Amino acid sequence: MSDLADIISRNEQQIRSEWIGDLHQTVQRSDLMSKAEMEEQCSALLSAVTEAVRSSGSEDVMTAGWRQTREYLEEISASRARQGFTATEVATFVLSLKRPLFSAIRRDMGKTQDRMFDTIWTATELLDRLALLTTDAYLAAREELISRQQQELLELSTPVVKLWEGILALPIIGTLDSARTQVVMENLLQTVVATNSKYAIIDITGVPTVDTLVAQHLLKTITAARLMGAECIISGVRPQIAQTIVHLGINLEDVTTRARLSDAFALALQMSGRTVVRQNASAAGSKVVLAGPLAKQEG
């Protein structure tokens, strides 16, 4: 152990320059990181390793003496994960220290083969452990990135918009699973309370398929809204989905459904006692207040 510490501290300069040279050839990603930054990271890591090996030995990298090294390595790995390095590149950063370190050991202990072998074994175990540590840190950073993106997606994809005084619309894009239903339901109910809206239109144009589970989630949302005193209309039911619903035997008889969002909006306006009127017959075409299917409702 002390052999390894000796060799590293004696040959620190040379190991560093060889290591940096190797890295330039293997994993230098000049598109993601500057040369100077890479060299600075190498120097800092090597001094930390040297210090740790000298003070706490190389058997266990989880001890307190290795804490600084561990934290520095985790920080490097996490930042590289965010920069877009691959897992191989991140692990190679540490593993490429092997060649310079081994040649230093060979230079110093070339004459005593047993000691050389022992020292090399200690060094390789140490570097493997450090490399595993970087991979773990890399994965953790990636996981965190993914879960944050998932959360953002969840929030982005469920907006509740106010169409009119007392009429809300909730366009759902993507598949409804339990977690999303929860968010959608909470969003909708909170907005219902906040805006005092009696009608909510749930638009499922963006939902690719409706199976029994999705239907159940929708019904839950509608029931919760009804308990609070709001009425839901489902719109955007595509012909295929209408067929699927009937074939699956899903009971949507208590729910008002419409084919298009515009139809549902017209219905909601009608139910809240409003009519849509064309301003002036002669100026029709240019001065239509609400055109299309909405205008049909006035008759």
Partner 1 sequence: MERIPVLRMGTLLLITIQVDMHDKLALQLQDDVTSRIAEWGSTGVLIDISSLEIVDSFIGRMLANIAAMSRVLGAETIVVGMQPAVAITLVELGMSLPGVRTALSVEAGMELLYGAGAGFRTGSEHERDEA
63's enclosing H/E stretch is: none
- Shortest distance (Å) from residue 220 CB to partner 1: 5
Question: For residues 14 and 56, is the Cβ–Cβ distance under 8 A?
Answer: no
Q: Which residues contact 153 (CB under 8 A, 6 or more apart)?
A: none
Q: Six-digit token pair at 116?
A: 């050389």
Within 124-143, the residues that bind partner 1 by CB under 8 A are none
Select the span of 129-137, 186-194, 232-240, 255-263 touching partner 1 (CB under 8 A). 186-194
Select the span of 90-98, 123-131, 141-149, 181-189 touching partner 1 (CB under 8 A). 181-189
The Cα–Cα gap between 262 and 271 comes to 14
Decide: is 196 part of the binding site for partner 1 (CB under 8 A). Answer: yes
Q: Six-digit token pair at 279?
A: 């301003």
- Shortest distance (Å) from residue 228 CB to partner 1: 5
DSSP E strand boundaries for the chain: 161-164, 167-173, 199-206, 231-235, 256-257
- Shortest distance (Å) from residue 184 CB to partner 1: 11
Task: Using CB under 8 A, pick the residue from 159, 174, 206, 229 that binds partner 1.
Answer: 229
Virtual torsion, Cα 121, 125, 130, 134, nearest 10 deg: 120
Complex with partner 1: residue 79 or 216, whichever CB lies closer: 216
- Shortest distance (Å) from residue 197 CB to partner 1: 8
251's enclosing H/E stretch is: none
**Interface contacts to partner 1, rule CB under 8 A:** 185-186, 189-190, 192-193, 196-198, 220, 223-230
